[in-house]
Amino acid sequence: MPEKSDEIEALIVDIDGTLVDSNYQHVLAWQRAFAAFDIAAEAWKVHRYVGKGGDQMVASVAGETAEQAHGDEIREAESENFQELIDEVRPFEDASGFLNEMHGRGLRLILASSAKGNEVDHYLGLLDATEAIHGHTNSSDVDATKPEPDLVLAALSKREGRKALMIGDSIWDVESSKRAEIDCLAVLTGGFSKAELRSAGAKEIQPSLSDLIQLPAGRVARDRTDRISG
């Protein structure tokens, strides 16, 4: 990651799967919600769409017919299921350290999430980085969810004109940042592969946030095609 420079002065950081280990709780909550309506949704398929907004999940996994028949009911069931699991969600070991380190380097940090406000507040309470975070988003800030750029643009509106970079864990993070015309660095903690993230357009891919901290100054200013191998 860079020191504070003319290149990058703000980071837009995804929450689910990037800062907190919640993707698989979401998979289970969605799977149970679909099952309540006799829709067999295999976990691997649900995971493919984690990172998109809940408004798109039902149609993505089960098709438009299911969306039209039970979309809102399935989303409500998922929300109830996830609330039963949310206390199992933990921040990644290096999440708070990463945020505090980037803040210490002079970068403005905006956390980007389309989760419900109470979920985002819960996650913020898990992160020992209150002083490092300059702002955040939640579902009330956007009309269209990932891969549309609305969430990233909402976060960018809080950056005070600083040149920004996004950090995320899913192909949907990468796609939404691309549509918002900013670069995205990706980590593997959300369960998406290097190949998938590379194909989506991630500028840099590292295993975890602690690996991003170790990048030499100026690394993110390199050519857009610079990737790690693998």
Angle at 177 between CA 125 and CA 175, to 5 degrees: 110
What b/e readout covers 58-68, taking b as 16+ CB neighbours within 10 angstroms? bbebbeeebbe
What is residue 216's predicted lDDT score, i.e. its pLDDT? 52
Fill in the DSSP letter of residue 3: P
Question: What does the pLDDT read at residue 227?
Answer: 36
pLDDT tens, N- to C-terminus, the chain (230 residues): 544 444 789 999 999 999 999 999 999 999 999 999 999 999 999 999 999 888 999 999 999 999 999 999 999 999 999 999 999 999 999 999 999 999 999 999 999 998 889 999 999 999 999 999 999 998 888 888 898 999 999 999 988 777 899 999 999 999 999 999 999 999 999 999 999 999 999 999 999 999 998 875 445 434 333 333 33
Query: How do the domains of the chain map onto residue ranges?
Result: 10-21+90-221, 23-88
**pTM of the full structure:** 0.89
Residue 218 corresponds to which tokens in the numbers above? 């100026």
Residue 1, pLDDT score: 53
Class of domain 10-21+90-221: alpha beta
CA geometry: angle at 116 spanning 132 and 167, to 5°? 45
| pLDDT of the residue at 90 | 97
pLDDT for the residue numbered 202: 97
pLDDT of residue 169: 97
User: 35, 43, 208, 16: which is closest to 123 by C-alpha?
Assistant: 16
